[in-house]
Structure 1
Amino acid sequence: MTTSCAAEPLPDNPWEKWGWAFAAIWLVFLAFPTIAVAESDVPVAAKVGAWLCILGFAVANVMGYSRRRNTWLCLAAMVALGLATLPVIGIGVISYAPYLAILSALELPSPAWKWAVGFWAAFPLLSLLGIDDFPTFFFLMLWPIMIGGVMLRIFGEREQLAIAARGEHAIVAERERVARDVHDVLGHSLTALSVKAELAARLIDLDPARAKEELESIQATARQALAEVRATVGGLRAGNLEAELAAAPRVLADAGVTTRVEGSVADTDPRHRALLAWVLRESVTNVVRHARARSVVIELGAAGIAVTDDGVGSEGAEGNGLRGMRERVTGAGGTLSVGPASPGTRVEVALP
């Protein structure tokens, strides 16, 4: 009796990978302050300085969407560079507000992003003051852009909550199923043990030989029940590819084997990562037990995984571990191949 539990993989956040592209596209609207600088009545040196500030503003905006950068620092840089152009373009600095609002909406943590967006949304109201003949109600042009950024943030958070809820529901359902399995195993086994123990107690004086047989049967039943419970509960241990990839070099190093990893978890298909974790664990175990290898190469890719060692090669019939691995891979619609690597052995899994 075995069970399995595979957590639903979270989809990649598009802002982590393509946020910079989104920001770069909207930089076209920096044409307004750029033109305003060109039309301003200031010395050429001041114009060049203002254009450099606008360029720095654009760079800081794009960098703000990178997870490797601090969003607060990027926002601070954008504010400083935008204000630096104030002596040249005056009230035209309002045109920077959408960039600040959208970056705040998409990248700042909760609840700070709400306060930041609220501040930037109020900023365009300065256009109502009629300074330097700036167009009245200019905020009506900027607010829809800011609202778009807010809606993207809200929809993204709702999607993450829905995914988390589905994952929690799947975990609860799996635990309930395993609990039922454990109940069935223990209910049957404990009942049998109770009956046999009572019988042995009655026979211990009347028929010692028969009582001994019942005690031996109790031992066998207890071992069987323990094995079934372990198999059932083992289904809760979902494979984690990142954890296995981190543990494999340590396990191999303890056996005197060096490890080289080509590719990363991000290169693999999220649907199959739990399965690949099991494959990697079993492959590493086989290398440690049987290969007598000195080095191992682990290759990760979109098609699956390959583990190659320089040991003595595969010998004899297929063992239980390899047979179980093949069953898992076949059940997922993939193929498992085990062959010589000249020297050593190569275990390769290809998945759809």
Structure 2
Amino acid sequence: MDDHLLPAGAVGRTPEPGAGVNPAAGLGAPTLPDNPWEKWGWAFAAIWLVFLAFPVIAVADSDVGWEGQLAALLCIVGFAVANVLGYSTRLSAWWALGLMVALALATVPVIGIGVISFTPYLAILSALELPDPWWKRAAIVWAAVPVLSLLRIDGFPTFFFLMLWPVMLGGVMLRIFGERERVAYEARGEHAIVAERERVARDVHDVLGHSLTALSVKAELAARLIDIDPARAKEELESIQATARQALAEVRATVGGLRAGNLEAELLAAPLVLADAGIATRVQGGVADTDPRHRALLAWVLRESVTNVVRHSGATTVVIELGAQGIAVTDDGCGRGGPEGNGLRGMRERVSGAGGRLAVVDAAPGTRVEVAFA
């Protein structure tokens, strides 16, 4: 035989090519799907602002005058705004982080060591939004903050790590899972591109192999008839023109991903192609006997089998059997010989991908190609 949802920092601000593909649209550059975090990440961040109640209470309990308390509250509000904008496209993560650190430090004269209550916000923003490798370095820095408790700083809560480390771990895991998802999505996209290229190659091979074989047979027949039966030779030449036009249309449709095999059409065309090559055809069963789910694939198998019989078998008779399990094409030619070609490999890949089984056996004499589905 021949021939989701991902963290905003994990997916970035701009979709990158290589992550997905629409086979019907051709082999263009694939893109990542829309990321809800890019549109609604600020809303999720805003929910956690409720924990800024702790520095607000600390300001209210402070001994400074109302002017100092007002200034500290304004810093907290600014901190909250910068935090929310850090998860949006309106402010870069670096600027947001810098503003948050500056505003948090500005509250130190009022709330003192209570400034550490801002740390979880800084940590999670760093883990999710900073670019690689800076987010990893920032995560290490923020995770080290609880170690300050060893210095026995006045008022520093020794249990602070119970709050900060789980937050850091959650942010880091979200970032890692998001990046893993990106890699997996890109791998699926690359696989889809390769599969699409292989599909186009198989389809073009099948279309051109069948059509060129038919053209060659018809041209040889017309050459033999041109002196003894000019009228019949003219018919064959007109048939060659029609076949060439059909082949061109099929190649265009195949490259566009629009072509599907038609078993009924192939069953009508096969005896004609075989007859031109001097091969008699006997058909057992009909299209109605086959499983509708597999008819397009069976059409491809029939076309490729007929092409191979005409080109290589030297047969005089072909039997085409159709049934509920699949299709079988048997010839009485010279049998198998040589390595497996592209055509048979293409058939095997198609059938295997659809959950079927393809077998090529000796028919004594000739060859039998069977395709069966469970």
8 Å CA contact 2:23–2:193 kept in 1: the answer is: no
- Greater relative CO, 1 or 2 (CA 8 Å, sep 6+): 2
8 Å CA contact 1:199–1:211 kept in 2: the answer is: yes
Q: Which residue of 1 aligns with 2:24?
A: 5
User: Does 2:248 match 1:226?
Assistant: yes
How far, CA to CA, are the matches of 2:152 and 2:76 in structure 1? Answer: 24
8 Å CA contact 1:197–1:214 kept in 2: the answer is: yes
The amino acid across from 1:109 in the alignment is P
How far, CA to CA, are the matches of 1:201 and 1:159 in structure 2? Answer: 62
8 Å CA contact 1:97–1:124 kept in 2: the answer is: no
Secondary structure at the counterpart of residue 136 of structure 2: helix
User: Does 2:175 match 1:133?
Assistant: no
How far, CA to CA, are the matches of 1:236 and 1:108 in structure 2? Answer: 44
Counterparts of residues 155-234 of structure 1 (less than 5 Å): 155-200=177-222, 212-234=234-256
Q: Which residue of 1 aligns with 2:100?
A: 78
Deviations 1:36-67 (A, max 9, x none): 22333333322211111111001110111112
Secondary structure at the counterpart of residue 154 of structure 2: helix
Cα deviation for residue 162 of structure 1 reads 3.3
Q: Which residue of 1 aligns with 2:176?
A: 154
The amino acid across from 2:68 in the alignment is A
Secondary structure at the counterpart of residue 131 of structure 1: coil
8 Å CA contact 1:175–1:236 kept in 2: the answer is: no
Q: Which residue of 1 aligns with 2:136?
A: 114
Figure out how many residues of one structure are paired with residues of the other and give that number: 235
8 Å CA contact 1:185–1:225 kept in 2: the answer is: yes
8 Å CA contact 2:128–2:174 kept in 1: the answer is: yes
8 Å CA contact 1:125–1:137 kept in 2: the answer is: no
Greater Cα radius of gyration, structure 1 or 2? 2
Q: Which residue of 1 aligns with 2:41?
A: 19
8 Å CA contact 2:218–2:240 kept in 1: the answer is: yes
Q: Which runs of 5+ in 1 are unaligned?
A: 238-352
How far, CA to CA, are the matches of 1:58 and 1:202 in structure 2? Answer: 89
User: Does 2:120 match 1:101?
Assistant: no
How far, CA to CA, are the matches of 1:11 and 1:157 in structure 2? Answer: 14
Cα deviation for residue 106 of structure 1 reads 1.9
The amino acid across from 1:61 in the alignment is N
8 Å CA contact 1:178–1:232 kept in 2: the answer is: yes
How far, CA to CA, are the matches of 2:141 and 2:157 in structure 1? Answer: 20
How far, CA to CA, are the matches of 2:49 and 2:148 in structure 1? Answer: 22
Secondary structure at the counterpart of residue 217 of structure 2: helix
How far, CA to CA, are the matches of 2:218 and 2:33 in structure 1? Answer: 53
Alpha carbons of 1:4 and 1:149: their partners in 2 closer, same or farther (altered >3 Å)? closer
Cα deviation for residue 24 of structure 1 reads 1.7
Q: Of residues 140, 145, 153 in structure 2, which corresponds to 1:123?
A: 145
Cα deviation for residue 13 of structure 1 reads 2.6
8 Å CA contact 2:23–2:192 kept in 1: the answer is: no
Q: Of residues 65, 70, 81 in structure 1, which corresponds to 2:87?
A: 65
8 Å CA contact 2:25–2:256 kept in 1: the answer is: no
Q: Which residue of 2 aligns with 1:42?
A: 64
Deviations 1:128-164 (A, max 9, x none): 3222231224223211111111112222333333344
Q: Which runs of 5+ in 2 are unaligned?
A: 1-21, 260-374
8 Å CA contact 1:53–1:82 kept in 2: the answer is: yes
TM-score, normalization by structure 2: 0.55
How far, CA to CA, are the matches of 1:25 and 1:227 in structure 2? Answer: 58
Secondary structure at the counterpart of residue 131 of structure 2: coil
How far, CA to CA, are the matches of 1:6 and 1:204 in structure 2? Answer: 46
The amino acid across from 2:113 in the alignment is I
Cα deviation for residue 194 of structure 1 reads 2.4
How far, CA to CA, are the matches of 1:193 and 1:112 in structure 2? Answer: 64
How far, CA to CA, are the matches of 2:192 and 2:35 in structure 1? Answer: 22
TM-score, normalization by structure 1: 0.58
Deviations 1:277-303 (A, max 9, x none): xxxxxxxxxxxxxxxxxxxxxxxxxxx
8 Å CA contact 2:83–2:125 kept in 1: the answer is: yes
Q: Of residues 77, 82, 87 in structure 1, which corresponds to 2:109?
A: 87
Counterparts of residues 168-317 of structure 1 (less than 5 Å): 168-200=190-222, 212-235=234-257
Cα deviation for residue 99 of structure 1 reads 0.5
8 Å CA contact 2:105–2:115 kept in 1: the answer is: yes
Deviations 1:303-337 (A, max 9, x none): xxxxxxxxxxxxxxxxxxxxxxxxxxxxxxxxxxx
Alpha carbons of 1:233 and 1:113: their partners in 2 closer, same or farther (altered >3 Å)? same
Alpha carbons of 1:142 and 1:169: their partners in 2 closer, same or farther (altered >3 Å)? same
The amino acid across from 1:5 in the alignment is A
The amino acid across from 1:229 in the alignment is V
Cα deviation for residue 228 of structure 1 reads 0.7
